[in-house]
Protein backbone atom coordinates (compact mmCIF):
# COMPACT_ATOMS: atom_id res chain seq x y z
CA UNK A 1 0.00 0.00 0.00
CA UNK A 2 1.25 3.49 -0.84
CA UNK A 3 1.80 5.87 2.07
CA UNK A 4 -0.41 8.93 2.54
CA UNK A 5 2.57 11.12 1.58
CA UNK A 6 1.39 13.65 4.16
CA UNK A 7 4.86 13.76 5.72
CA UNK A 8 6.64 14.20 2.38
CA UNK A 9 4.16 16.85 1.26
CA UNK A 10 4.56 18.82 4.49
CA UNK A 11 8.35 18.90 4.18
CA UNK A 12 7.99 19.97 0.55
CA UNK A 13 5.59 22.74 1.57
CA UNK A 14 7.99 24.03 4.23
CA UNK A 15 10.86 23.89 1.75
CA UNK A 16 8.84 25.95 -0.74
CA UNK A 17 8.43 28.57 2.01
CA UNK A 18 12.17 28.58 2.72
CA UNK A 19 11.87 27.43 6.32
CA UNK A 20 12.48 24.27 8.36
CA UNK A 21 9.52 22.13 9.42
CA UNK A 22 8.76 22.12 13.14
CA UNK A 23 8.26 18.55 14.32
CA UNK A 24 6.56 18.69 17.73
CA UNK A 25 6.59 15.82 20.22
CA UNK A 26 3.84 15.15 22.77
CA UNK A 27 3.67 12.26 25.21
CA UNK A 28 0.14 10.95 24.65
CA UNK A 29 -1.89 10.91 27.83
CA UNK A 30 -0.02 13.62 29.77
CA UNK A 31 -1.61 15.27 31.68
CA UNK A 32 -4.63 13.21 30.56
CA UNK A 33 -5.66 11.21 27.48
CA UNK A 34 -8.71 13.43 27.00
CA UNK A 35 -6.62 16.60 26.81
CA UNK A 36 -3.91 15.39 24.39
CA UNK A 37 -5.94 16.03 21.19
CA UNK A 38 -6.55 19.62 22.29
CA UNK A 39 -2.84 20.09 22.99
CA UNK A 40 -1.93 18.71 19.56
CA UNK A 41 -4.31 21.10 17.82
CA UNK A 42 -2.91 23.98 19.89
CA UNK A 43 0.60 23.12 18.68
CA UNK A 44 -0.62 23.10 15.10
CA UNK A 45 -2.19 26.54 15.56
CA UNK A 46 1.17 27.70 16.92
CA UNK A 47 2.98 26.56 13.78
CA UNK A 48 3.87 22.89 14.32
CA UNK A 49 4.03 21.06 11.00
CA UNK A 50 4.30 17.41 12.08
CA UNK A 51 3.25 15.71 15.31
CA UNK A 52 5.25 12.98 17.03
CA UNK A 53 2.76 11.29 19.33
CA UNK A 54 4.71 9.47 22.04
CA UNK A 55 3.48 6.11 23.30
CA UNK A 56 4.23 6.12 27.06
CA UNK A 57 6.55 3.37 28.23
CA UNK A 58 7.83 2.38 31.66
CA UNK A 59 11.51 2.27 30.63
CA UNK A 60 12.13 5.08 28.11
CA UNK A 61 15.90 4.62 27.90
CA UNK A 62 16.48 7.24 25.17
CA UNK A 63 14.60 9.96 27.02
CA UNK A 64 15.71 12.43 29.64
CA UNK A 65 13.95 13.20 32.93
CA UNK A 66 11.23 15.48 31.52
CA UNK A 67 9.85 12.88 29.11
CA UNK A 68 10.47 10.07 31.60
CA UNK A 69 8.19 11.84 34.06
CA UNK A 70 5.65 12.54 31.32
CA UNK A 71 5.55 8.83 30.46
CA UNK A 72 5.03 7.95 34.10
CA UNK A 73 2.14 10.40 34.45
CA UNK A 74 0.57 9.15 31.21
CA UNK A 75 0.78 5.53 32.29
CA UNK A 76 -0.76 6.36 35.67
CA UNK A 77 -3.55 8.13 33.75
CA UNK A 78 -4.32 4.81 32.02
CA UNK A 79 -2.73 5.49 28.64
CA UNK A 80 -1.89 2.40 26.55
CA UNK A 81 -1.45 1.75 22.83
CA UNK A 82 -5.21 1.41 22.24
CA UNK A 83 -5.79 4.74 23.96
CA UNK A 84 -3.03 6.40 21.93
CA UNK A 85 -4.75 5.24 18.75
CA UNK A 86 -8.02 6.75 20.01
CA UNK A 87 -6.19 10.01 20.68
CA UNK A 88 -4.74 10.01 17.16
CA UNK A 89 -8.20 9.37 15.70
CA UNK A 90 -9.60 12.37 17.58
CA UNK A 91 -6.77 14.59 16.30
CA UNK A 92 -7.35 13.39 12.74
CA UNK A 93 -11.03 14.38 12.94
CA UNK A 94 -9.91 18.01 13.10
CA UNK A 95 -6.52 18.14 11.39
CA UNK A 96 -4.56 16.95 8.39
CA UNK A 97 -1.25 17.48 10.21
CA UNK A 98 1.01 14.45 9.67
CA UNK A 99 1.06 12.17 12.74
CA UNK A 100 3.96 9.89 13.60
CA UNK A 101 3.77 7.35 16.43
CA UNK A 102 6.95 7.59 18.52
CA UNK A 103 7.42 4.41 20.55
CA UNK A 104 9.70 1.81 22.03
CA UNK A 105 9.41 -1.73 20.73
CA UNK A 106 7.79 -3.43 23.69
CA UNK A 107 4.34 -1.75 23.68
CA UNK A 108 3.92 -2.20 19.93
CA UNK A 109 5.18 -5.78 19.92
CA UNK A 110 2.63 -6.66 22.57
CA UNK A 111 -0.11 -4.95 20.58
CA UNK A 112 0.99 -6.70 17.37
CA UNK A 113 2.63 -5.03 14.39
CA UNK A 114 0.04 -6.11 11.82
CA UNK A 115 -2.88 -5.15 14.05
CA UNK A 116 -1.22 -1.83 14.77
CA UNK A 117 -0.45 -1.18 11.11
CA UNK A 118 -4.01 -1.88 10.01
CA UNK A 119 -5.58 0.27 12.72
CA UNK A 120 -3.07 3.10 12.37
CA UNK A 121 -3.63 3.31 8.62
CA UNK A 122 -7.41 3.31 9.07
CA UNK A 123 -7.20 6.12 11.62
CA UNK A 124 -4.93 8.24 9.44
CA UNK A 125 -1.59 7.88 11.24
CA UNK A 126 1.24 8.44 8.77
CA UNK A 127 4.28 6.71 10.22
CA UNK A 128 6.05 4.85 13.00
CA UNK A 129 9.32 5.65 14.77
CA UNK A 130 10.69 2.82 16.94
CA UNK A 131 13.47 4.33 19.02
CA UNK A 132 15.06 1.08 20.16
CA UNK A 133 14.71 -1.01 16.99
CA UNK A 134 18.19 -1.74 15.67
CA UNK A 135 18.31 -0.78 12.01
CA UNK A 136 20.22 -4.02 11.31
CA UNK A 137 17.09 -5.92 12.40
CA UNK A 138 14.53 -3.59 10.83
CA UNK A 139 13.67 -5.38 7.57
CA UNK A 140 10.77 -7.40 8.99
CA UNK A 141 9.01 -4.61 10.92
CA UNK A 142 9.55 -2.16 8.06
CA UNK A 143 7.90 -4.57 5.62
CA UNK A 144 4.94 -5.04 7.96
CA UNK A 145 4.37 -1.32 8.43
CA UNK A 146 4.95 -0.42 4.78
CA UNK A 147 2.36 -3.05 3.82
CA UNK A 148 -0.16 -0.80 5.54
CA UNK A 149 1.16 2.36 3.90
CA UNK A 150 2.98 3.67 6.98
CA UNK A 151 6.25 5.56 6.76
CA UNK A 152 9.09 4.30 8.95
CA UNK A 153 11.56 6.73 10.52
CA UNK A 154 14.95 5.74 11.95
CA UNK A 155 17.55 7.54 14.03
CA UNK A 156 21.00 8.54 12.82
CA UNK A 157 23.46 9.43 15.59
CA UNK A 158 26.89 11.09 15.71
CA UNK A 159 28.34 7.65 16.56
CA UNK A 160 26.68 5.87 13.60
CA UNK A 161 29.04 4.20 11.15
CA UNK A 162 28.68 4.91 7.44
CA UNK A 163 27.23 1.43 6.97
CA UNK A 164 24.59 2.13 9.61
CA UNK A 165 23.83 5.55 8.13
CA UNK A 166 23.20 3.90 4.77
CA UNK A 167 20.82 1.40 6.39
CA UNK A 168 19.03 4.25 8.13
CA UNK A 169 18.55 5.92 4.75
CA UNK A 170 17.44 2.66 3.11
CA UNK A 171 14.85 1.75 5.75
CA UNK A 172 13.51 5.23 6.44
CA UNK A 173 10.67 6.87 4.57
CA UNK A 174 9.06 10.22 5.29
CA UNK A 175 12.26 11.62 6.80
CA UNK A 176 15.42 10.70 8.69
CA UNK A 177 15.71 11.69 12.36
CA UNK A 178 19.21 12.95 13.19
CA UNK A 179 20.17 12.80 16.86
CA UNK A 180 22.19 15.94 17.50
CA UNK A 181 24.31 14.45 20.29
CA UNK A 182 24.93 11.27 22.24
CA UNK A 183 22.91 10.70 25.40
CA UNK A 184 19.21 11.19 26.12
CA UNK A 185 16.62 13.75 25.14
CA UNK A 186 16.54 17.05 27.02
CA UNK A 187 16.85 20.80 26.61
CA UNK A 188 20.30 22.20 25.82
CA UNK A 189 21.77 25.69 25.49
CA UNK A 190 23.11 25.03 22.01
CA UNK A 191 22.95 22.50 19.19
CA UNK A 192 26.12 20.41 18.85
CA UNK A 193 28.48 21.69 16.14
CA UNK A 194 29.02 18.14 14.88
CA UNK A 195 25.45 17.78 13.65
CA UNK A 196 25.98 19.86 10.49
CA UNK A 197 28.65 17.53 9.05
CA UNK A 198 26.50 14.52 9.99
CA UNK A 199 23.58 15.95 8.01
CA UNK A 200 25.87 16.58 5.06
CA UNK A 201 27.12 13.00 5.16
CA UNK A 202 23.52 11.76 5.15
CA UNK A 203 22.73 13.96 2.15
CA UNK A 204 25.08 11.76 0.16
CA UNK A 205 23.25 8.61 1.27
CA UNK A 206 19.56 9.55 1.06
CA UNK A 207 17.29 12.00 -0.73
CA UNK A 208 14.83 12.04 2.19
CA UNK A 209 14.25 15.16 4.28
CA UNK A 210 16.42 15.30 7.39
CA UNK A 211 15.17 16.59 10.75
CA UNK A 212 17.35 17.23 13.81
CA UNK A 213 16.29 16.52 17.39
CA UNK A 214 17.60 15.96 20.96
CA UNK A 215 18.30 19.19 22.80
CA UNK A 216 16.36 21.50 20.46
CA UNK A 217 14.48 23.90 22.71
CA UNK A 218 14.79 27.50 21.50
CA UNK A 219 13.83 29.61 18.50
CA UNK A 220 17.50 30.19 17.70
CA UNK A 221 18.05 26.42 17.60
CA UNK A 222 15.23 26.01 15.07
CA UNK A 223 16.60 28.87 12.98
CA UNK A 224 20.16 27.50 13.07
CA UNK A 225 19.06 23.97 12.16
CA UNK A 226 17.14 25.40 9.22
CA UNK A 227 20.45 26.48 7.69
CA UNK A 228 21.44 22.86 6.95
CA UNK A 229 18.49 20.55 7.68
CA UNK A 230 14.84 20.27 6.64
CA UNK A 231 13.27 20.18 10.08
CA UNK A 232 13.78 20.73 13.80
CA UNK A 233 12.31 18.36 16.39
CA UNK A 234 11.25 19.75 19.77
CA UNK A 235 10.11 17.47 22.59
CA UNK A 236 11.37 18.03 26.13
CA UNK A 237 10.85 21.81 25.99
CA UNK A 238 7.20 21.27 25.07
CA UNK A 239 6.70 18.59 27.69
CA UNK A 240 8.21 20.89 30.33
CA UNK A 241 5.37 23.33 29.61
CA UNK A 242 2.93 20.45 30.09
CA UNK A 243 4.65 19.41 33.31
CA UNK A 244 4.71 22.90 34.80
CA UNK A 245 1.19 23.91 33.74
CA UNK A 246 -0.63 20.58 33.42
CA UNK A 247 -3.39 21.62 35.83
CA UNK A 248 -3.83 25.09 34.36
CA UNK A 249 -6.93 25.75 32.23
CA UNK A 250 -4.80 27.76 29.80
CA UNK A 251 -2.34 24.93 29.09
CA UNK A 252 -3.36 24.69 25.38
CA UNK A 253 -2.87 28.44 24.98
CA UNK A 254 0.54 28.24 26.64
CA UNK A 255 1.65 25.44 24.30
CA UNK A 256 0.35 27.34 21.28
CA UNK A 257 2.27 30.44 22.35
CA UNK A 258 5.46 28.45 22.91
CA UNK A 259 5.20 26.83 19.46
CA UNK A 260 4.63 30.23 17.90
CA UNK A 261 7.71 31.54 19.67
CA UNK A 262 9.77 28.64 18.27
CA UNK A 263 8.60 29.16 14.70
CA UNK A 264 8.32 32.95 14.48
CA UNK A 265 11.98 33.71 13.55
CA UNK A 266 12.01 31.02 10.84
CA UNK A 267 8.63 32.17 9.54
CA UNK A 268 9.86 35.75 9.44
CA UNK A 269 13.08 34.82 7.64
CA UNK A 270 11.05 32.96 5.00
CA UNK A 271 8.97 36.04 4.17
Detail the DSSP E strand segments found in 8-154.
Answer: 21-27, 50-54, 99-103, 127-130, 151-153
Q: Alpha-carbon distance 199 to 178, whole Å?
A: 7
Q: Alpha-carbon distance 14 to 167, whole Å?
A: 26
Query: Dihedral sign, CA of 118, 120, 126, 132?
Result: negative
Helices (H) and strands (E) in the chain, counts: 12, 9
Q: Alpha-carbon distance 25 to 44, whole Å?
A: 11
Q: Alpha-carbon distance 88 to 36, whole Å?
A: 9
By annotation, the residues acting in catalysis are: 52, 63
Cross-sheet strand order for the sheet of 155-156: 151-153, 127-130, 99-103, 50-54, 21-27, 231-234, 210-213, 176-179, 155-156
Q: What is the DSSP letter of 228?
A: T
Amino acid sequence: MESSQRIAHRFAHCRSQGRPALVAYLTAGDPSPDLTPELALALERGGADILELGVPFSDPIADGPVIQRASDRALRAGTNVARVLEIAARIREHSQMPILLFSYMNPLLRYGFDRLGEEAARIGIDGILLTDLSVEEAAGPVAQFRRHGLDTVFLAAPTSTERRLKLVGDYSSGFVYVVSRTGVTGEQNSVAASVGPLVEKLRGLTSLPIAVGFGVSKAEHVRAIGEYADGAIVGSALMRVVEEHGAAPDLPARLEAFARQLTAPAQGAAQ
